[in-house]
Structure 1
Amino acid sequence: MSEFQDLSHQIELISLEEDQEQSRLLNSMIEEGLESSSVALILEAFPIEDRVRLWRALPLELHIEVLTEMRAEVRYSIIDSLSDTELKLTLAKLDNLSLIEWADSLPEEIISEAIQLIEKDELELYDQANEFEEDELGRWAERKVITLPFNITVEKATVLMERYSYDTPQQVYLIDRRKKFRGAVNYYEILRSENHVRLKTLALDNVTTLNGKLTLPESVEALEHSSLSALPVVDDDQTLIGEVDWQFALSTQREIYEARLMAGTGMDEGDDLFAPIMKSSQKRGVWLGINLLTAILASVTIGLFEDVIAQVVALAVLMPIVASMGGIAGSQTLTLMVRAMALNQIAPGNRFALLKNELGIGSINGLLWALIIGGLAGLWFQSTLLGSTIALAIVVNIITAALFGVLIPIVLDKLKLDPALAGSVILTTVTDVVGFFAFLGTASLVLL
């Protein structure tokens, strides 16, 4: 059974139980090794009242961790249900990374209260993280890493680690007196080495450092190409900030994917499955309004050729084919472009070659399907002129779709807009208008 099938099975088992038994069953799953991220997904699958009840029944040490793993709106649905005392007790347990995660999605008054309640050390780390922008790696780096002077011996390093009761790490970071990064050592290599050996001689070769100003997609790509499970994060002066690991890369990649998936319909990756009806209606209604405007534009184009449609009814039957073929062709190109942009594969040097390639694909597919659709339409309505008309419209629309499928995401990216959010709406409008105009305009010239 896959992880997702297993999660679905766990949700089903819990949902079939009575209230008190649900909490007991969930806690027994946690004792058997259920991770906090899975607990968060399970709670998200329940209506708000049940979700809050299940969260309250979790072990206290998991409260913050599970909330941090949740989507923003889901997290707020629980926090908003807490009493003042419960809220203060919860906020007091926040660490710097959790507070950073929460800060962008909670009301200012809650974040201000959290800042007053969390421990001084955590607040200092939180302030350091806030020196970076939301999309910069330095904001999200784990600052609680083990650092040791690069020139000390294994014996001295062992004493220091025992004195400060460090948890067992995978890597130890070496720094100089000015806290500048000087290397990384595998923790188990320290344990295996002789006491007199100096740490700098145990340093791993070719450790890639990530600048705190890197964007999140760039840092994820660097982690993907690294053989290490974690990489150090430094500032412009090579001062060690912290580290990021493969778990960070996976969660960031998932968030980027979810954001692009939801953005295509005007929704947010943080949206709650059981969000209040009125709130969700308002949010989705705005997107429906935007789509209405684009649909009106296509309808106006059709209205320009009302007379020809009235005289040749077959045009109304064939119009959806023209729009559909252009829309599918355009979405193929757009999807390819959005993925390439997410992977930083689009550069000024390859844009023209890419455009030429997509136009070539569009031309071949346009001609091929124009012949097929034109032939079928001609036989269906016993009209060679009608078949030729729709064939021409198909060619024009598929080539147009390829052209704008490349240009629209490039232009939107230049304007600092997300191509995944607005690209599909603009492209659909373009292919509808061009397709209808080519089809009906040609028909008005040759069929009347």
Structure 2
Amino acid sequence: MNEQLPELIDELVSTPEDASQIARSANMLEQEDADIALILESLPVEQRISTFSALPRHRMLDVLVEMRSDPREILIDATPQDQWASIFSDIDAEDLLELMDSLPNRLIDRAYEALDSQQQAYFDDARQFPVEQIGHWLNHDMLVLPLNAKVREGLRLIRRGVPSYCDTIYLLNRSGQFAEAVKLARVFNAAEHIPLVELAEEGLTVLKATDENVSASLLVQRSGYTSLPAVDDNNKLVGRLDIGAASELINENYERQVMATAGMDEDEDLFSPVAKSAKNRALWLGINLITAFLASWFIGLFEATLQQVVALAVLMPVVASMGGIAGSQTLTLIVRGLALRQVTAANMKALLTKEFQVGGVNGIIWAIVIGIVAYFWFANPVLGLVIALAILANIVCAACAGVFIPVLLDKLKIDPALSGSVILTTVTDIVGFVAFLGLGTLFLL
């Protein structure tokens, strides 16, 4: 984060009456669009609206594009209708695709009319693909030549201008199908009469427009190119996925997973209305309540034991906590592996064996440590043995559950990042409590 941003946020929040003046100040206007978007998202709603309305009209669109959906929608609703014509004056298909989920239909129509015919065609093509596929997010600004072109034609094309994140010329056959790609660096160093096809790259990955966002974006990041071509089912070139878009898609997916672990939407506004925030979070609070009652029910089965051996109640959180942490570590590793397509049926057995062994080693180490602490704390060697065995059992079980749960959820087409932690916590709590209280009943009564 830019070092000036916290100061600007503090100034806007503490002096709301000066929001318009601050928004037009040099300190604000010299910030990147993404930084201004971040500042606006950090402001209470009233200051956010007044600050945005004071921005130069030509920057409003770019700032809106950089914002998350929820805070962006508040600004869209608060913007007077007579300002949209000037805001949309420089809009392109990529901007409209980013904004369309936040814009009401009447504004989508106005923005579409502001596009030129080529941008309208790009927008129409992109809408044929769902947002989960790269066809929705392709860059159509490319360097393209026929397959029989020579170096001199490539140099002429380059002199007209090279798009951002573009390091290759794509060669097409007479049917418009993708054939080869030539690095710009090789064009500069070749004789003008040489056919470009003789300089073509080997092993270039060609994407399908129907490829899933994250997997295709990872291919771009690992390719060594600043973008990769994308084709349709007939091998016709439809665009390219550049490293900028790929990085943004991966970052959004990561943020989505982080927020999903708490049952929240990555677009949620810091200052969204109380009712909306409460509604968004209520579902997972309810699910957590059900799992908590389930764990409590298992504890209730050992009520007589707890009444006679109070030390068990004191130590119960230790057993649950150790299992929960051990399971979360494995769960995080497996969720990442699933997202990167590293976990398959072929390596599942080896992965499970490895995590079982890690759980066993950590289980033994911490079982000994906690057993000794419990022994000296309560002067009861049998209690120390009971909690040591329970810790060992729970950590090993947590490691195995951390592998099985996300893999099973993934097969059921349920996002393991969203619900895996809730299920895992329930499993480790129940296993830990049953093991600890069951052993306590067996050895201490």
TM over 0.5, yes or no?
A: yes
Residue 361 of structure 1: how far off its partner (Å): 1.1
State the distance in 1 between where 2:384 and 2:134 align. 57
Change in CA separation of 1:391 and 1:144 when aligned onto 2, cut-off 3 Å: same
Q: Which residue matches 1:277?
A: 274
Q: Which residue matches 1:139?
A: 136
SS in structure 2 of the partner of residue 439 of structure 1: helix
From 349, 352, 357, the equivalent of 1:352 is 349
Change in CA separation of 1:206 and 1:8 when aligned onto 2, cut-off 3 Å: farther
Q: Which residue matches 1:379?
A: 376
State the distance in 1 between where 2:359 and 2:45 align. 49
State the distance in 1 between where 2:349 and 2:274 align. 47
Residue 7 of structure 1: how far off its partner (Å): 4.0
SS in structure 1 of the partner of residue 328 of structure 2: helix
State the distance in 2 between where 1:279 and 1:110 align. 24
Residue 82 of structure 1: how far off its partner (Å): 1.5
Which deviates the most, 13-22 or 51-60?
13-22
Q: Which residue matches 1:48?
A: 45
Whether 1:437 aligns to 2:434 is yes
Q: Which residue matches 1:59?
A: 56
Structure 1 residues 150-176: Cα deviation after superposition (integer angstroms, max 9, x where no partner): 3234555666778xx656554433223
Q: Which residue matches 2:123?
A: 126
Q: Which residue matches 1:175?
A: 172
From 29, 32, 35, the equivalent of 1:35 is 32
Residue 92 of structure 1: how far off its partner (Å): 6.2
Structure 1 residues 247-285: Cα deviation after superposition (integer angstroms, max 9, x where no partner): 112212211111111111111111111111221111112
Change in CA separation of 1:28 and 1:7 when aligned onto 2, cut-off 3 Å: closer
Q: Map of 1:23-422 to 2, 5 A cutoff?
A: 23-25=23-25, 27-31=26-30, 34-87=31-84, 89-90=86-87, 93-107=90-104, 110-111=107-108, 114-115=111-112, 118-156=115-153, 170-171=166-167, 172-186=169-183, 196-422=193-419
Change in CA separation of 1:194 and 1:63 when aligned onto 2, cut-off 3 Å: farther
Residue 191 of structure 1: how far off its partner (Å): 6.5
State the distance in 1 between where 2:80 and 2:119 align. 24
Contact residue 334 and residue 423 of structure 1 kept, 8 A: yes
Change in CA separation of 1:389 and 1:189 when aligned onto 2, cut-off 3 Å: closer
Change in CA separation of 1:315 and 1:285 when aligned onto 2, cut-off 3 Å: same
Residue 203 of structure 1: how far off its partner (Å): 4.0
Structure 1 residues 170-193: Cα deviation after superposition (integer angstroms, max 9, x where no partner): 443322332212333455765676
Task: Give identity over the alignment, percent.
Answer: 42
Q: Which residue matches 1:426?
A: 423
SS in structure 2 of the partner of residue 221 of structure 1: helix
Change in CA separation of 1:30 and 1:201 when aligned onto 2, cut-off 3 Å: farther
Gaps of 5+ in 1: none
The letter for the 1-side match of 2:435 is: A
Contact residue 401 and residue 431 of structure 1 kept, 8 A: yes
State the distance in 1 between where 2:235 and 2:162 align. 25
Structure 1 residues 359-404: Cα deviation after superposition (integer angstroms, max 9, x where no partner): 1111122122222212221222222222222122111111110111
Residue 210 of structure 1: how far off its partner (Å): 1.7
State the distance in 2 between where 1:225 and 1:324 align. 38
SS in structure 2 of the partner of residue 231 of structure 1: strand
Contact residue 79 and residue 87 of structure 1 kept, 8 A: no
SS in structure 2 of the partner of residue 20 of structure 1: helix
Change in CA separation of 1:167 and 1:395 when aligned onto 2, cut-off 3 Å: closer
TM-score by length of 2: 0.90
State the distance in 2 between where 1:204 and 1:359 align. 45
The letter for the 2-side match of 1:250 is: S
Change in CA separation of 1:398 and 1:158 when aligned onto 2, cut-off 3 Å: closer
SS in structure 1 of the partner of residue 280 of structure 2: helix
State the distance in 2 between where 1:137 and 1:209 align. 12
Whether 1:446 aligns to 2:438 is no
State the distance in 2 between where 1:373 and 1:160 align. 71
Residue 220 of structure 1: how far off its partner (Å): 2.0
Contact residue 55 and residue 63 of structure 1 kept, 8 A: yes
Whether 1:22 aligns to 2:22 is yes
RMSD: 2.6
SS in structure 2 of the partner of residue 131 of structure 1: coil
TM-score by length of 1: 0.89
Contact residue 53 and residue 79 of structure 2 kept, 8 A: no
Gaps of 5+ in 2: none
Residue 49 of structure 1: how far off its partner (Å): 2.7
State the distance in 1 between where 2:187 and 2:351 align. 51
Which deviates the most, 103-112 or 304-313?
103-112
SS in structure 2 of the partner of residue 285 of structure 1: helix
Change in CA separation of 1:157 and 1:431 when aligned onto 2, cut-off 3 Å: closer
Residue 63 of structure 1: how far off its partner (Å): 2.3
